[in-house]
Chain A
Amino acid sequence: MKDKKIFIIAANVFIAVILIQTYFRPVEDMKLSGAEQKARPGVPTLNDVMTGKFQNSIELWLKQNIGFRGTFVKTDNQINYSLFNEFSRSHPRKILLGNNKELFEEPYIDCFNKLSTLPPQVLEKKATAIQRLQEKLKARNVRFLLLLTPSKASIYPEAVPEKYVLDSGKEKQDNYQVIVPMLKRRGVNIVDSREIFLEMKKNGTTHLFPSSGSHWSLYGGYLIGTKTIERMEQLFGRRMVRMETKKLISSREPIDLDKDIARLGNLLFTRSLFTDYVYPETSPDAPAHAFRPDVLLVGSSFCWNFIHYIEQNNVFSRLNFYYYYNTDWVYPGMQHHPINRAAINWDRDVLTRDIIIVEINEIQINEAGFGFVEDALNALDR
């Protein structure tokens, strides 16, 4: 009977502790990484109560705010990782564990397996739109550059476990392989990072992608930055500020985006996912006459690691980064504000630039420019 009493008392204490933590937070809980839509308790209007909307909002809010949620989530993830060698499968954007602790997000593996290839006509249309934009901008004396960014799986296919490789995908061409010849035929200015990385890899360059990150590494972003500057110099016919490597620093501690998927795995021991990383120490090579262009960059989160060293070395005089074409990040200063697409002053904000760079990742070719290309063409046609 004594044991049974202890069991019942322990169960009650457990519930009480969770509730105390929920409302008073006497202990600091583990922080969870990742953006989450915050639930708010609804207002009990008659309609919302009768349709269950109010109840659902309360349940969601209680779930999100339960005491020790961070600890519970991380413990479950750690169990999955330590015992089953995988990440939580309930995650909306699944994380897959590759060979040698290389982490992948599922969409990149789907792209690698060519699961969402577009019909050639669609890609032709996209290539034509990009070419038209380049020509129209040229007529306004604005240069255009397309920055194609790669997926980790394309550069390191050997890190994708066999169980995640679809046989039927091996024979197909992916969107990138189809659209690049189309763009080249049309004379679109391109920095093809996938081609550059594969060439670098062949020549022995390592650490182009971090094992614990989804995007190219800071080092990879830096290498493409130097290639982009070279290409821009060709387009402008002028010497720009270049970035020089003073030395490469090895580290076991990844920086920022180099650990983004590892952090999103929300393990108790995230460090167990870290491998080795390389970070260049750079300095600007800036002769007095060096040209610092005014740049508008439109792209995805791949651009953060690209901007990092460009910004550090003051390569551009001004940079606006239209992140997914919905938030405007202004450099220097990193101020940001949402973009109202309908209210863009194209003459003032876009056509005064020296160059517009559109970054497209190979898994997002279907949404190239996130609507920017089409909006810019409409504005220029007016």
Chain B
Amino acid sequence: MGFSTVTFLFYFLPLMLLLYFAVPAKYRVPLLLGGSYVFYFWGSPTGAAVLLAGTVIDYLFGGAINGAGPGRKKKMLLAVSVTINILILFYFKYSNFFIGEINRALTFFGSSGIPWTAVMFPVGISFITFHKISYLVDIYYGRVAPAESFTAYALYLAMFPKLTQGPIVRYHIISEQLTAPKYSFNDIYEGSIRFCVGFAKKVLLADPMGAVANPILSMDMANLTVGYAWLGIVCYSFQLYFDFSGYCDMAIGIGRMLGFTIPENFNRPFYSQNFTEHWTRWHITLGNFFREYLYIPLGGNRAGTLKTYRNLWIVFLVSGFWHGANWTYLAWGFYNGLFIFLDRIILIRLLRRVPVPLKMALFYMLLIVGYVLFRSDTIAGAFLYIHRMFDVTAIGSIQSSFLLAKLIGNRDVFVLTVCLLICFFPQPLIDRGRLLISGRFSGTVINRLRMAAAGLIFLLSLISMINNSFSPFIYFRF
């Protein structure tokens, strides 16, 4: 069940909130747990079953790890429990891919492939697995005590706002709230505002940008002009960002309404001067997870320069493959790792004297080149697309049968402009504007403006969402 659906907006969420606020405090956690399972079951029945089974196993392992004294047994329990989780993830997310690759190789050498029925991918399993690993590892290192109750742990994993797309919430951040969530009226209000913002990002910005990007990114090379190639990937970058950050805003908003603190996941990620800075602003909770649970255990930057670089590459390759089961994701991870590596050895120093706007433009260009790898189905397809982006000889020589006016309408041009402003408007000017507004207007006026703006963008998003569901034809021919 997506957040931007009628089912969620008008049925699931209002009913969930109504019951949550109506029942006595001691029933809130079980209620939220039940609701979260309904939410997950609705979108992924298999996933709900896998989640429940995995929760029981991890809960038992968590207790066992905590109970085992320091030594081999504890380490062994951690290794087994983490391996089980990785195997579950591997089976559901990567088995189709690897079997497909093996079968392709076997067919190439004239053998028949391995008989295989495709496994259905439970939505959100990648995020759930990371939550589980963080819980087990934190218990192992004594950073947290095991969950007070099975219900609390089950809710930690299944909590519907962050279940399918994160942000990744480490157990210790919300462990107390899991047993006795506390909310105030102000939390409900602020959470609602945040939800409206996220909903608008998704429906009013991400979806229109996707509608421009998708036909371009699936265009054959004969029709793909240099301009279209750039337009397509720029729009895709905004689709990706506003879709994901919109979802996270909605998750943070709902979490706050319910009395949970879900961490921030984005901080104007395109407003960066290099990849190193970007990765502190983009999918922040994932970056933190990899730092804590992979980079540091690998030795981090404590074991010399070469090992630091090796560790960074490993983190980015794993991160790439975590995003999807395809060589293109691995290539994307490699690409990001390469620039993080280059940042460290030369780029940041080399570009020190370059004006900031130029550095940002250069970084954004390199970033979206990487997005071609992220979005493509094949490495070869990605390289062809990237080649077209930089093919100066193709400028003006390709007569595309796709008209620009049909790829991007007037409203899309407006949306693209809004996206550019949101992502690249200078931060100092924003800060100055904020100061100016807070100095000139009273808190009440600002608050009223926020409310009016939130209400308006919610309404606009809603009508746009409903209009997108209306696809009539003049006449039924068939």
A interface vs B, CB < 8 Å? Answer: 1, 3-5, 7-8, 10-12, 15, 18-19, 22, 32-36, 49-50, 52, 55, 58-60, 62-64, 66, 69, 72-73, 75-77, 79-80, 83-86, 88-94, 105-106, 113, 115, 161, 163-164, 166-168, 214, 260-261, 264, 266, 301, 324, 326
Contact = CB atoms under 8 A, between A and B. Distances in A.
A90 B192 contact: no
B463 A35 contact: no
Q: Is the interface of B mostly helix, strand, loop or mixed?
A: helix
Interface in B1-36: 1, 5-7, 9-11, 14
Interface of B: 1, 5-7, 9-11, 14, 42-46, 185-186, 188-189, 192, 208, 211, 399, 401, 403-406, 409-412, 414, 444, 447-448, 451, 454-455, 460, 462-464, 466-478
Contact of B464 (A58, A64, A76): A76
Contact of A166 (B189, B403, B410, B451): B403
Contact of B414 (A35, A76, A84, A167): A84
16 contacts: A4-B186, A8-B192, A22-B10, A34-B473, A34-B474, A35-B475, A36-B473, A66-B6, A76-B464, A84-B411, A86-B409, A91-B471, A115-B401, A161-B405, A163-B405, A164-B403
Contacts of A33: 472
Given A34-B472, A36-B470, A164-B405, A4 B10 contact: no
Query: Lowest 3 A-B CB distances belong to which pairs?
Result: A34-B472, A163-B405, A76-B467
A4 B185 contact: yes
Could you say which of B192, B411, B460 has the most chain A C-beta atoms within 10 Å of its C-beta?
A: B411
A106 B473 CA distance: 12
A71 to B, nearest CB: 8
Nearest to B412: A89
Given A59-B5, A63-B469, A66-B6, 19 more contacts: A1-B185, A3-B447, A7-B451, A8-B188, A11-B192, A35-B474, A50-B45, A52-B44, A58-B7, A62-B7, A62-B11, A79-B463, A84-B410, A84-B414, A93-B473, A94-B406, A163-B403, A166-B403, A301-B474
A301 B475 contact: yes
A86 B415 CA distance: 14
B466 A63 contact: yes
Nearest to B189: A4
Given A36-B471, A90-B211, A90-B467, A59 B406 contact: no
A5 B11 CA distance: 22
A168 B5 contact: no
Nearest to B208: A89
B476 A35 contact: yes
Given A66-B6, A72-B463, A85-B410, A35 B472 contact: yes
A86 B411 CA distance: 8
Nearest to A11: B192
Given A7-B451, A52-B43, A89 B467 contact: no
A69 B451 contact: no
Contacts of B46: 50
B197 to A, nearest CB: 14
B460 to A, nearest CB: 8
B6, B455, B471 — which one has the most chain A CB atoms within 10 A of its CB? B6
Nearest to B469: A63
